[in-house]
């Protein structure tokens, strides 16, 4: 039988070719499976590092080299060595669970999805390499013990580091430089929200027809103004607007164009809608005198709303910005205005309104900013950068009803960029102007919304004044600090009638 098969094999070329083809297919499949099971992305960052640390259990030395990790104690005795089958990408040391002693946080690659233990319904682990975060405890005897292993983080990390302001939070960065945050909760690492969504609206210009409608039809309430935008306002982590009209607590001070004063019920509607920040430096800030500013500041502060750009008349210290913290990100808010219609109270109240320094009109229509004034503005922003992770500047500038950005706006935008502002949000023209991503002198970017136009107003003289825009942008932690993750400008109907 065997001889007959051999003669058939020798005489049948087709049969021989089929066997050869089958052998090649088997070999290719074997190579493919080997490569697949052994695949580790080439773009990863593999670290070598040496670090000494001390905790309640003593002093230890961590050494990572050529994808192998070892720990020695103060006597030079090796207390831990990574498993031979593990390829260690990076290691950090921190008191992640905040129990008083530090843990080793190890980013590594190993075959299979699980550590020492796997779910009872999984009969056999996978053979291919996958990335894991292992946590190791150092016990009183100096020995290192596995505490926890992440079977799947949902992200392939190219790099890992501890947060600068909170070393109990780990940051992982993927190939696209997107970062995720992780902290110890209960028993395991849990993903922490990393992004802050900010939405800013333009001029909240409340004129007489709106007051009269509220009184006659809404029992004095202004809630109707913001109802079309509630979903957008309340879905944002921080919602802001330009408070073009001050609040007043006397009926005799309520008024419309050209000198505005809004009832306290307007502030209640702003609060109820869910706004977090109100920019208060604008040309109508002094329409109801110092009292109007004091009443407005008191209301917003008591309502838990950050009011920037003005200070109370009793404030002896200049505070150019306010800090708002959200999801671990500290944001500095500024607000400046080119001037005020009702004069200037700076001689008696130097901190009352935050004016753009040097905004003085020359005969040719440009503005002159002295070197000293420019340095002061830059210094204020630089001071905020030391305290905050992100800087946003509201600015009341430009020419009314002009969709073209003026040279003056461009000049101040350059100054803000020198100081290191991240986002500039302009108001005052009552029409929408361009949105631009500018280069800063330090090599980073600054986003400028030159004018958002109106938000809520009765300016129906043109289609341009009837339309406004909303600034939508997201900021997030990254390896280079807090950065702008995305941005957009969305048109809205601002005309109320």
Predicted model pTM: 0.86
Residue 127 is predicted with a pLDDT of 83
**How much of the chain, in percent, has pLDDT values that exceed 90?**
73
Residue 257 is predicted with a pLDDT of 93
Residue 26 is predicted with a pLDDT of 55
Residue 369 is predicted with a pLDDT of 86
187/306: higher pLDDT: 306
Residue 305 is predicted with a pLDDT of 98
Q: What is the pLDDT averaged over residues 327-343? A: 95
Helix (H) or strand (E) holding 5: helix 2-11
Residue 455 is predicted with a pLDDT of 98
pLDDT tens, 5-56?
556 555 566 655 665 666 665 555 544 444 444 689 999 999 999 999 888 7
Write out the CATH class of domain 195-493: alpha beta
pLDDT tens, 61-80?
999 999 999 999 888 899 99
Which residue ranges make up each domain of the chain? 49-192, 195-493
Residue 460 is predicted with a pLDDT of 92
Cβ–Cβ under 8 Å, residues 307 and 295: no
* Residue positions counted in the chain: 497
Residue 16 is predicted with a pLDDT of 58
Residue 19 is predicted with a pLDDT of 56
pLDDT at 382 over 80: yes
Residue 32 is predicted with a pLDDT of 45
C-beta neighbour count of 167 within 10 angstroms: 15
**pLDDT tier, 362 (very low <50, low <70, confident <90, very high otherwise):** very low
pLDDT tens, 286-320?
999 999 999 999 999 999 999 999 999 999 999 99
48 CB contacts (<8 Å, ≥6 apart)? 64, 65, 66
Residue 375 is predicted with a pLDDT of 94
**How much of the chain, in percent, has pLDDT values that exceed 70?**
90
Q: Is the dihedral of CA 233, 236, 237, 241 positive or negative?
A: negative
Residue 53 is predicted with a pLDDT of 87
Q: What is the pLDDT averaged over residues 482-496? A: 96
pLDDT tens, 151-186?
777 889 999 999 887 888 999 999 999 999 999 988
Cβ–Cβ under 8 Å, residues 421 and 371: no
60 CB contacts (<8 Å, ≥6 apart)? 52, 53, 54, 71, 72, 73, 74, 79, 138, 142
Average pLDDT, the chain: 90
DSSP letters for 192-242: E--EEEEEEEEEE---HHHHHHHHHHSTT--GGGTGGGHHHHHHSSEEEEE
**pLDDT tier, 124 (very low <50, low <70, confident <90, very high otherwise):** confident
Residue 18 is predicted with a pLDDT of 60
Residue 30 is predicted with a pLDDT of 46
Q: What is the DSSP letter of 251?
A: G
Residue 35 is predicted with a pLDDT of 45
Residue 112 is predicted with a pLDDT of 86
pLDDT tens, 194-242?
999 999 999 999 999 999 999 999 999 999 999 999 999 999 999 999 9
First to last CA, the chain: 100
Which neighbouring-strand residues pair with 200?
A: 240, 471
Residue 234 is predicted with a pLDDT of 97
């Amino acid at each position: 039988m065997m001889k007959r098969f051999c003669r058939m094999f020798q005489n049948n070329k087709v049969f021989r070719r089929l066997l050869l083809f089958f052998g090649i297919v088997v070999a290719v499949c074997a190579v493919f499976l080997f490569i697949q099971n052994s695949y580790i992305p080439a773009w990863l960052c593999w670290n070598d590092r040496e670090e000494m640390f001390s905790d309640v259990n003593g002093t230890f030395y961590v050494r990572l080299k050529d994808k192998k990790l070892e720990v020695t104690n103060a006597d030079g005795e090796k207390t831990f060595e990574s498993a031979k089958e593990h390829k260690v990408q990076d290691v950090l040391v921190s008191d992640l669970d905040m129990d008083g002693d530090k843990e080793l946080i190890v980013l590594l690659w190993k075959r299979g999805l699980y550590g020492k233990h796997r779910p009872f319904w999984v009969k056999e682990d996978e053979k291919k390499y996958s990335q894991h975060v292992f946590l190791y405890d150092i016990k009183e005897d100096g020995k290192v013990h596995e505490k926890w292993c992440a079977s799947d983080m949902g992200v392939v990390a190219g790099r890992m580091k501890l947060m600068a302001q909170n070393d109990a939070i780990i940051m992982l960065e993927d190939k696209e430089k997107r970062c995720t945050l992780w902290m110890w909760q209960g028993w395991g690492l849990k993903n922490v929200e990393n992004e802050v969504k900010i939405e800013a609206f333009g001029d909240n210009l409340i004129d007489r027809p709106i007051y009269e409608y509220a009184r006659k039809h809404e029992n004095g309430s202004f809630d109707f103004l913001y109802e079309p935008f509630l979903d957008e306002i309340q879905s944002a982590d921080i919602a802001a607007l330009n408070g073009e009209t001050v609040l007043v607590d006397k009926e005799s001070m309520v008024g419309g164009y050209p000198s505005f004063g809004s009832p306290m019920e307007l502030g209640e509607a702003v609060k109820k809608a869910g706004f977090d920040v109100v920019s208060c430096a604008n040309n109508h800030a002094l329409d109801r005198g110092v009292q109007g500013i004091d009443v407005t500041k008191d209301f917003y502060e008591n309502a838990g709303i950050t009011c920037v750009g003005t200070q109370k008349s009793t404030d002896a210290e200049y505070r150019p910005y306010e800090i708002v913290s959200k999801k671990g990100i500290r944001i500095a808010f500024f607000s400046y205005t080119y001037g005020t219609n009702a004069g200037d109270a700076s001689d008696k109240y130097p901190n009352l309104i935050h004016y753009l320094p040097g905004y003085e009109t020359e005969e040719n229509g440009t503005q002159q900013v002295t070197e000293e004034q420019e340095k002061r503005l830059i210094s204020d922003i630089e001071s905020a950068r030391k305290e905050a992770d992100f800087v946003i500047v509201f600015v009341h500038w430009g020419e009314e009803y002009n969709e073209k950005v003026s040279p003056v706006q461009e000049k101040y935008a350059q100054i803000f960029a020198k100081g290191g502002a991240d986002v500039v949000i302009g108001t005052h023209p009552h029409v929408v102007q361009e949105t631009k991503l500018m280069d800063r002198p330090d090599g980073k970017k600054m986003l400028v919304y030159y004018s958002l136009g109106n938000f809520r107003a009765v300016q129906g003289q043109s289609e341009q004044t009837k339309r406004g825009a909303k600034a939508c942008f997201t900021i997030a932690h990254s390896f280079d600090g807090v950065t702008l993750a995305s941005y957009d400008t969305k048109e809205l109907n601002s005309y109320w009638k």
